[in-house]
Amino acid sequence: MEANIAVPTDKKDIWNGGGGKPFGASYGKMMMWYFILSDALTFSGFLAAYGLTRFKFIDTWPIADEVFTHVPFVHGDFPMIYVAIMTFILIFSSVTMVLAVDAGHQMKKNKVAWYMFATIIGGIIFVGSQAWEWNTFIKGSYGAVKTTEGKLLQFVKDGKQIALADFVIGNRTDGRVQHTKKNGLWFEEEGTIANYSVAQVIQAYNANPEIQVRTELIDLDKKQKTILSREAGAAMLARTDRVVEGANLEENEYGNTIFADAFFFITGFHGFHVVSGIAINIIIFFNVILGTYEKRGHYEMVEKVGLYWHFVDLVWVFVFTFFYLV
């Protein structure tokens, strides 16, 4: 009967207050692990939802290496290079983190501090890169037009995508003014209007016989987007009603609306984790410098934030694969 009585006997049921350590792990470390587990399930939910949406639009989904082709300070077409660099930065900051933990086991305060510092710098560079990536994505680089039923049409020359600015001449000519709260309905406003009108784009298309229209539809034999003939392209263009430049939550020049939504949501949620990871790392960094853990006699706190930081890296590995590679 005594086994059922809720009175502390051998102190195993008071966990951190007593000496009991289930699974040989301290309370903090175990709870960090279970937090990571639940967070991993949240991220899986997002990535699985991304997978569902992608399977739903499997014949029209944007091709990632046609979308993410830019590298800062360099002109030209470099698919995936920049994300790969970002991946390296994050993996490297994971290495400095694990080196900090390792130095902590040997009670080398200065080493721990320096490695923590390197980790924080790596994290900041990563978040900065992410911000640049978002900025490029939001601004867009080519521009497209959209039909009344929501199909997106891009323009190609010799099989390579070209920007509207490359073949549409001059500024917007139809005198369209951006609707703000000051010049229209006081309770409504619209975003930045496109640089060109649909009529201008169609006129430029008709004037340049070497330009063709590319639709979202993927040719499954070649795994490339379908390029229409000049006549079919003109017929499709006749059904367009707006020019799309860049990306937001409602439309984007890359293809399916939900592609950009998922991009913002998943990389944004990951970026938020990186930011909070940096904040926690900074706190722990100062604690290390102040000698908090030296006095405590162990650096387990560094190990626990390390777990979180590695987890952020782990998630990025999956985001990298499912967003950029597959």
Partner 1 sequence: MAHAHESNTKRIWIVFGILSFITIVEVYLGILKPAALHLQGMGTSWLNWIFIILTLAKAYGIAWVFMHLEGEKKWLRRTIVWSAVFLISYLVTLFLFEGSYIFDTLSPLVKW
Binding site for partner 1 (CB under 8 A): 23-25, 30, 33-34, 36-37, 40-41, 44-45, 48-49, 51-59, 65, 79-81, 84, 87-88, 91-92, 94-95, 97-99, 101-102, 105-106, 151, 215, 217, 221-223, 226, 303, 306-307, 310-311, 313-314, 317-318, 320-321, 324-326
Cα–Cα dist 26/304, whole Å: 10
From residue 15, how far is each of 20, 21, 207, 305 by CA, in Å? 5, 6, 78, 21
Please report how close the Cβ of residue 220 comes to partner 1 at its closest, in angstroms.
Answer: 9
Three-state SS at 122:
helix
Please report how close the Cβ of residue 221 comes to partner 1 at its closest, in angstroms.
Answer: 7
Please report how close the Cβ of residue 22 comes to partner 1 at its closest, in angstroms.
Answer: 8
Three-state SS at 2:
helix
Query: Is the Cβ of residue 201 or residue 312 nearer to partner 1 in the bound state?
Result: 312
Query: Is the Cβ of residue 270 or residue 310 nearer to partner 1 in the bound state?
Result: 310
Cα–Cα dist 113/267, whole Å: 29
Supply the Cα-derived Rg of the chain in whole angstroms: 27
Q: Phi, psi at residue 71, to the nearest 5°?
A: -125, 135
Find the DSSP H helices in 23-108.
Answer: 27-56, 64-67, 81-105
Find the DSSP H helices in 140-161.
Answer: none
Q: Phi, psi at residue 116, to the nearest 5°?
A: -60, -45
Cα–Cα dist 308/311, whole Å: 5
Query: Is the Cβ of residue 55 or residue 186 nearer to partner 1 in the bound state?
Result: 55
Please report how close the Cβ of residue 185 comes to partner 1 at its closest, in angstroms.
Answer: 34
Please report how close the Cβ of residue 196 comes to partner 1 at its closest, in angstroms.
Answer: 25
The count of other CB atoms within 10 Å of the CB of residue 51 is 14
Please report how close the Cβ of residue 29 comes to partner 1 at its closest, in angstroms.
Answer: 9
